Structure 1
């Protein structure tokens, strides 16, 4: 559906584009809708190899998500297409720099859009090879709005390597070392540049499905030569290779919930909140509805054993309780329990259970904003508003399981000594790239803020060890 939608949008923005980008626009006599016709379709994909560009290749995690390296990726986009992206952002979020925030988080950005920014074709270069007519767009929610309105052009990007295959047959099923989609996260509100990567690694090291991540410098050439956009975190997309490689079967329903019903409060279910990322044509949300039914059954208070049995027939409670323990120990406020987004649910065909997958971790590893991260005992949490946490924690069997997971996390993947050593290693790796970002392309006001933020993370690890010890005692 998007491939029909985006060319129509592009036609609106490209009416004054250079001839090199667009040959003409044709009018559909039935719908009277302008459709873009590109005239840059005559090219040969000379760098194409099976290993690097074909969908026959398995995802090469060692190449794309190398932990102990900072790699470089370049995006080259024509000036007219870049301008189309900026014009689209103005329409969605208002004038660039309108808050006068000077590129600093918190400078503004309270507007939101239900519409994704527009995709345009661009070239991607990596290690001397070219990927052709890759779909690129800006991405994000509050981070996108705030960064844009504060006058900071260091925006996050989404890359889709065969988004425009219908327009350019040469790139049919184009992949980047086996990956169709990737996100370049801008490390919004994170002066350490470490939270997105380290949090994702912690979840995965704990045995949970979680995106791979890696550090990349990004250069964008939008007509005047390559410009350093700064240090980014490349993130694996859940609806691409996470479910392909971390589950034995990728045919299940994948949901990315966002909205009031994503709290799972009684009576809040709506189909529109549980956005399908797979099996979109099947109008079937019965698995989600079954979870609502089991969660809110009267047996929760009258027959706890029966309630658990029925809940465990639709939800992988082992995964959820482990996730909850990790998320609460490391502190991650911008997700379920405080916010109705930033997680996926996958109906795993192997066991027909909905499985929790964490997502978007740039706000993790800190107390957080607004009400802050949830306490380890969830005091103050409204169980009826957030029943997946409140109802399970109130059950003695599930609470005991959660407590065991908390102890395992603090003695294992998030032990203070282990995680502080990780911070030290990664900080030394990325410091030269983080501290050379320039104003207007950075969230740092000066280079010393980077090391200060890393030190804050190390202190946080010690504080969490103390907090967990007090909780368990």
Structure 2
């Protein structure tokens, strides 16, 4: 027993050494796991022989007729080197865990606030090549869910001069006047129509919103072109929407994300009012004023003054029409339920913050994630979502909102017109949607496509009935 007591100090020292060694080994492993993925930049000596002013130059005006044609399905091809494709997959693994493994133990994080990496790749369209285009995966929960479900039909972000510093030949490269585009994968949408139709409705209602179009995508990452499926190409707000749908694109453009995006009292945070331009200008007084005024006590003590102050800095007419459209198409994945998926643009013509809708793939359905807000916003916490709650409680604004509901249901979302649009678009895309292959599709079967289209048509009827019941 005496000998054991004599050994205790030595045993204690050995335990400390073992613990430190284990910790050091763990730190080394973590450092190895966190090793930066290096994007391969090669083949810098090339001649962009397909380059023309109309197709590639920054001097060309955006060609909407070419890029966003409604009544056809066009094709895009990506060519990505085998090494860079592996880099993209490795990066996704670091962000979301092992491909095909759900969240939880061994399944990676539930959300990543980092964007996937850009890699240079070739884009081909109608036999023309665009060179060393920045390509990356895009999305948040939809990207994570697709990845962890083992579906490689992922959304892409395209930036045509992302790598111009590495490849001077592509300085200010554009795609028919567009610098950036989103290629949406129609996540969890068996009809593959929701993103396009919902955005069409916003635009047809006279609101600033992105152009959209249907495209098939093929990706060659070393083994020849692989059909990735039917996508919806979406115009980027911070590229050409503000440039072409306003007189100037020099006003502050925000993409709020986080608590501050609710505009609830006490939530102001410059970091969450994410500026998409004018980043070097530290002036956030426009969004700060909106938050202050919408929550000001004069709303109940002097409503006329409150409305005048709000109208001076916020385009309330646009917002109320947006509310009407969004309520009719039923998009739950935006303001009122989620603190993201919209832009605010300080229109230089009016000096008013103007609402721009974004990301409509979850629209045109009932019940998912608890469903969209009701037309009368019952159950909404006005203090949590004051832009809706406080404006709807005001008799003047409510009257305007009601008038926009009636206008939209009789025009931009007219039941007969929308159902005919569904029929037309479905006939256009059916062969491309139902020919998607396993591992690159959200369709359970080809019959689920037509079933989803029928559901959309029934939804149009139900929304007509809902608006009639509300107004009457």
TM-score if structure 1 supplies the norm length? 0.91
1:93 partnered with 2:96: yes
Shift of the 48–252 alpha-carbon distance from structure 1 to 2, 3 Å rule, reads same
1:66 pairs, out of 66, 69, 86, with 69
C-alpha separation between the residues in 2 aligned to 1:218 and 1:278? 30
Corresponding pairs, count? 437
**Cα distance between partner residues in 1 of 2:404 and 2:360:** 20
SS in 2 for 1:170: helix
Give, in whole Å, the separation in 2 of the partners of 1:454 and 1:100: 31
Matched, 1:51 2:51: no
Distance 1:367 1:269 in 2: 32
Query: Contact (CA 8 Å) 2:134, 2:160: kept in 1 or not?
Result: yes
- What is the match of residue 145 of structure 2? 146
Counting only pairs closer than 5 Å after superposition, residues 77-88 of structure 1 correspond to structure 2 as 77-88=80-91
1:372 maps to what in 2?
A: 371
Residue pair 1:138, 1:157 contacting (<8 A) in 2 also = yes
Give the 3 Å change call, closer, same or farther, for CA 109–206 of structure 1 in structure 2: farther
State the Cα distance separating 1:261 from its structure 2 match.
1.2
TM-score by length of 2: 0.91
The 3-state SS of whatever aligns with 2:335 is coil
Do the aligned residues in 2 keep the contact of 1:110 with 1:142 (CA within 8 Å)? no
Asked whether the 8 Å contact 1:265–1:384 carries over to 2, the reply is yes
User: Given the alignment of the two structures, is residue 343 of structure 1 paired with residue 342 of structure 2, yes or no?
Assistant: yes
- Matched with 1:220 is 219
**How far 1:11 moved relative to its partner?**
9.1
Conserved in 2, the CA contact under 8 Å of 1:191 and 1:450?
yes
| 2:17 alignment partner in structure 1 | none
2:95, 2:108 within 8 Å by CA — same for their partners in 1?
no
Which SS does the other structure have where 2:213 is aligned?
Answer: strand
Q: CA deviation at 1:100?
A: 9.5
User: Which whole-Å CA distance do the structure 1 matches of 2:369 and 2:206 have between them?
Assistant: 30
- Distance, in Å, in 2 between the alignment partners of 1:402 and 1:39 is 56
Q: Secondary structure at the match of 1:400?
A: helix
What is the CA–CA distance in structure 2 between the aligned matches of 1:301 and 1:453, rounded to whole Å? 46
Q: What's the CA shift for 1:111?
A: 1.1
* Cα offset, 1:371, TM superposition: 2.3
Deviation at 1:367, TM superposition (A): 1.5
Once the two structures are superposed, residues 352-392 of structure 1 have per-residue CA deviations (whole angstroms, 9 ceiling, x without a partner) of 00000000000001124222111100011110110000000
Equivalent in 8, 13, 33 of residue 37 of structure 2: 13
1:366, 1:319 → 2: CA distance? 23
C-alpha displacement of 1:242: 0.2
* Unaligned 5+ runs, structure 1: 1-9, 22-37, 102-107
- 1:217, 1:230 within 8 Å by CA — same for their partners in 2? yes
Shift of 1:159: 0.2
Q: How big is the alpha-carbon RMSD for the aligned residues of Structure 1 and Structure 2?
A: 1.5
Greater helix share, structure number:
2
Distance 2:174 2:309 in 1: 42
1:426-473 CA-to-partner distances (Å, cap 9, x unmatched) read 000000000000110000011000000000000000001011000000
